[in-house]
Amino acid sequence: AAAGQSPPPIPPSSMLAMVSALRVQRRPLALALGLVGALSLTASRLAFNAPGLGHRSLSSASRRLVVRHAEGGGHGVPKGSAVSQENMDPEILAFREHQKNAPRLSFAEEARTLVDSTVSGVMSTISSRPGLEGFPAGSVVFFASDEQGRPIFSFSSMSGHTADLKKNEKASLTIMAPGFASPADARLSLIGTCAPVPEAERDAVKAVYKVKHPNSFWTDFGDFTWYRCEVMAASLVGGFARAGGVTGEEYSASKADPVAPFSMNVAEHMNDDHGSSVLAIVKSSTGLKTGLVGAKMLTLDRLGMNVLVEREDKPEGAEEATKQSFKVRVPWLSPAESRKDIKERIVELSKAAREA
């Protein structure tokens, strides 16, 4: 866009259109935070026409992010899709209502959980390299997080991002959920300032870092310094139909979900050995039954589970059925706080599915 003019709106027809627009527009936000971090930020500003957005639980920052593009519409999905607002089939209407009211973690809780479950990400700094001053610079970094969710790093004085931070402490950290493979998976950008840890706190910070990185012998090298980021805001994209912003205060006041540490192991076991049960649970719990041919458990938390389902739909007059994959929310009958609780909740839902 020309100087002083707003860039053209991003077409809502697809995520690919959004990515392409980012590549050519080069918005000032991307220059300030780094292209990788800005991608997640821009994605979080979309309003998705799909179930489960959960406006009732959005913070004021989240609402600002989501509503900004609401007037332009959401993704252009086929009318027959289960996530299309134009699908007036009674089963689909009931499913959407179920998804709208299904309990979920807050955006802040989900952000803290994602940070706690990962060990690396992409830090975007403002380049201090001669000839590239002011441009975004991305670096893969390893980190741990303290009780407030603040990322902790051990940086070499020879690293480009260390030199950048000495000139300008503003940075973003973009992380992806373990096993990230598609736009349906979660990603998060933390925005704030990163500075050296005061000497009096370095031993405590080192102990926290060593829990996540026990073999990080390089932290004892003479040219490595402990850094910590103060989170001013976060932008979460939890997958299609779930995106929003989190303030620094909301982020630091939240806690990581207690079920997350063993979520992946439980999901893998259920998918490998009890796939048919997962599909039966989705049908029974959500009421979405027609055309549902597959279900894969993605993540679990204290309030429920996220499942990727595959649905076949054959529009009137079409020669072949089309398949769509999308994420659905399946709540527990009561909250869970331990692995034992999770097993009991899954058994409860399996029993209800058999009796349905």
- 65-74, 188-197, 252-261: range with lowest mean pLDDT: 65-74
Q: How are beta strands 224-239 and 242-247 bridged, if at all? A: antiparallel
What secondary structure letter does DSSP report for 11? Answer: P
| Residue scoring higher pLDDT (71 or 96) | 96
Confidence of residue 333 (pLDDT cuts 50, 70, 90): very high
- 180-184, 194-198, 268-272, 351-355: range with lowest mean pLDDT: 180-184
**pLDDT score of 320:** 82
Confidence of residue 172 (pLDDT cuts 50, 70, 90): very high
Query: Over the chain, what is the mean pLDDT?
Result: 81
**pLDDT score of 31:** 31
Q: What is the mean pLDDT of residues 99-105?
A: 94
Q: What is the mean pLDDT of residues 168-174?
A: 98
Q: What is the mean pLDDT of residues 300-322?
A: 86
Residues forming a β-bridge with 174: 122, 189
Q: Is the pLDDT of residue 247 over 70?
A: yes
**Structure confidence by residue, pLDDT tens digits, 106-148:** 999 999 999 999 999 999 999 999 999 999 999 999 999 999 9
CA-CA distance, 329 to 286, in Å (whole number)?
A: 8
Q: Is the pLDDT of residue 8 over 50?
A: no
Q: What is the pTM of this model?
A: 0.73
**pLDDT score of 19:** 35
Q: Is the pLDDT of residue 7 over 90?
A: no
Q: Are 89 and 61 in contact (CB under 8 A)?
A: no
Identity of the residue numbered 356: A
Q: Is the pLDDT of residue 179 over 70?
A: yes
Q: What is the mean pLDDT of residues 166-172?
A: 98
Give the Cα-Cα-Cα angle 97, 98, 100 (nearest 5 degrees).
Answer: 65
What percent of the chain is predicted at pLDDT more than 90? 65
Q: What is the mean pLDDT of residues 203-218?
A: 96
**Structure confidence by residue, pLDDT tens digits, 75-91:** 555 555 665 666 678 89
**Structure confidence by residue, pLDDT tens digits, 32-70:** 333 333 333 333 333 333 333 333 333 444 433 433 333
Phi-psi label, residue 140: left if phi above 0, alpha if psi -120 to 50, beta otherwise: beta
Q: Are 302 and 337 in contact (CB under 8 A)?
A: yes
Q: Is the pLDDT of residue 182 over 90?
A: no
Confidence of residue 28 (pLDDT cuts 50, 70, 90): very low
Q: Is the pLDDT of residue 164 over 90?
A: yes
Q: What is the mean pLDDT of residues 298-313?
A: 93
Q: Are 188 and 218 in contact (CB under 8 A)?
A: no
Highest average pLDDT, of 74-78, 85-89, 181-185, 232-236, comes from: 232-236
